[in-house]
Structure 1
Amino acid sequence: MDQALLALNEKLDRLTNQVAYLTEQTQRAERERESRTELMRDLTPIVNDVYRLTVEQLEEVEQYVSLDDLLRLVKRLARNGRNIEKMLDQLESVMDLAETIVPLSDAAFGRAVTELATLERKGYFTFAKGGWQIMDNIVTSFGEDDVRQLGNNVVLILRTIKEMTQPEVMNFARNMVSSIESESAAEVSISYRSLFGQMRDPNVRRGLALTMRVLHSLGQQMSPAGQSVN
């Protein structure tokens, strides 16, 4: 009797546990069902709105896009999923590079602004503006024939400028200008006695000889070809 009662109690315990397990599973299923029902109740208005907006948008483009076009586009996107992913990775790399370069660009821009301010303070822009005005005056002052002649004689002009910029020529011009300025400021005697007195100065005679040589060369250049000058 005791063993039978003990076996019966064990069976009742197992049965009780099974009933409790089934009850728990039933309650869990009920809660999940209620959650799904609540979720569907919340999603139904959203799905309806999405469906309505989709229909409205498709109605606007239905004359340009068909369902076959949309399906083909979806298939193409699916086939190129890896390419799209690579493109997004490259875009992220470019964005990271841009984030790295932007501070450097800001620093370079600030340095450029500082350099431009320095150049403006030193007068480079004013000089460039004046140079542009000089160039404009030159261009507007020369005609087509003048430009053609300038092109034909540009080598001779450059050689002449090169010779004129030699140190001895520049020193001669500077000394001449200084002499003219000093003579203009001082009282100059132009009497014959004073002039003949200056002829005793070797520098005066050397300058007069050089002047005569220049006049001789000038006369040769101005005289007609084959004509002698008495």
Structure 2
Amino acid sequence: MDKDLELLHQKIDFLTEQMRETQRRQREMEELWKDLTPVLTDLFNTAAEELDEISPYFGHEDLIYLVKKMLRNIRSLTALFEQVEGAQDLLKDLVPLSKDIFDEVLGRLDALESRGYFRFMKATFSVVDDIVARYSEEDIRMLGESMVAMIDIVREVAQPDRVASLQKAVATLRDIQVDIPARRSTFGLMRQMLDPDVRRVLSIGLGIVKQVAEKLPVRSAMQNGD
């Protein structure tokens, strides 16, 4: 009998404790709702005001149409989200690579700086500024035309056969040893004219002079004749 009474008291105590816990939770929920009521009221009023501004342009039928549209294209939206996730994964992979590229670019720029490229470019800009200040556009154009003509001349001279001929001529002139007497008579000069080698050299020289004269402008040739 005593055990039954003790068990009954335990059950009553348990139920009493449960009722107290329930009342405590109820009071907490009431306090929470009391705190949230002003916030929810402000949120509802703000939403109502915002929706009232767009009410001429957006109605419940538009919302229904938008929901239906999203449901029809749910697969496309899912594929789009998957692409975004793939782009995020790609970005995660590219971040370390971009850091390596950035470090490589900084290293190259530092090497160029140490070798003086930037100082050279700065000096070049100064030269360009001086040219712009001293010369007009027409002067630069004429200079460009002259440079093109000079490049054409260099290109013509730089032909392999002509370079070889010039090298041979320079080597020949370097090896020639001519004894120039202090005095030479007219008859001595005429006697040298009988030498076939002398006549051949004179013939070559006259031929070169003739070809140059033929290619000169008429006005320049007349002035030279005067």
TM-score by length of 2: 0.56
Does residue 208 of structure 1 match 2:212? no
Q: Deviations over 1:176-197 (max 9, x none)?
A: xx9xxxxxxxxxxxx9869949
Say if 1:69 and 1:204 are closer, same or farther in 2 by CA, change over 3 A: farther
Preserved CA contact (<8 Å) 2:112 2:118 = yes
Q: Is 2:104 the partner of 1:108?
A: yes
Change in CA separation of 1:205 and 1:91 when aligned onto 2, cut-off 3 Å: same
2:16 aligned residue (15, 23, 38): 23
Number of matched residues? 189
Deviations 1:107-159 (A, max 9, x none): 133134235534344569839x87xx9xx8799449xxx9xxx9xxxxx9898
Which amino acid in structure 1 is aligned with residue 43 of structure 2?
V
User: C-alpha deviations, 1:64-122, integer Å up to 9, x for none?
Assistant: 33333334445627946744642442243133134223312321331342355343445
Q: Which amino acid aligns with 1:107?
A: D
Do residues 40 (structure 1) and 36 (structure 2) align? no
For residues 159-178 of structure 1, the aligned pairs below 5 Å read 160=156, 163=159, 166-171=162-167
CA root-mean-square deviation: 5.1
Once residues 99 and 157 of structure 1 are traced to their aligned partners in structure 2, the CA distance between those partners, rounded to angstroms, is 54
1:10 maps to which residue?
Answer: 3
Q: Which amino acid in structure 2 is aligned with residue 36 of structure 1?
A: M
Q: Which residue does 2:92 correspond to in 1?
A: 96
> Aligned in 2, Cα 1:34/1:91: closer, same or farther, shift over 3 Å?
farther
Deviation, structure 1 residue 44: 1.6
What is the match of residue 219 of structure 2?
Answer: none
Relative to structure 1, the CA distance from residue 105 to residue 82 in structure 2 (aligned partners, 3 Å threshold; closer, same or farther) is same
- The equivalent of 2:177 in structure 1 is none
**Aligned residue for 1:60?**
53
| Residues in 2 aligned to 1:55 and 1:16: alpha-carbon distance in whole angstroms | 56
CA distance in 1, matches of 2:141, 2:23: 97
How far apart are the structure 1 equivalents of 2:92 and 2:20?
Answer: 52
The residue aligned with 2:63 is 70
Q: 1:69 to 1:37 in 2, by over 3 A?
A: same
CA 108–17 in structure 1, closer or farther in 2 if over 3 Å, else same: same
In structure 1, distance between residues paired with 2:169 and 2:140:
29
Task: Among all aligned residue pairs of Structure 1 and Structure 2, give the percentage whose two residues are the same amino acid.
Answer: 20
- Equivalences for residues 165-204 of structure 1 within 5 A: 166-171=162-167, 196=189
Query: What 5-or-longer segments of structure 2 have no aligned partner?
Result: 175-182, 217-226
| Displacement after TM superposition at 1:16 (Å) | 0.9
- TM-score with structure 1 length normalisation? 0.55
Q: Which amino acid aligns with 1:108?
A: E
Cα drift, residue 19 of structure 1: 0.8
1:37 Cα deviation after fit:
1.1
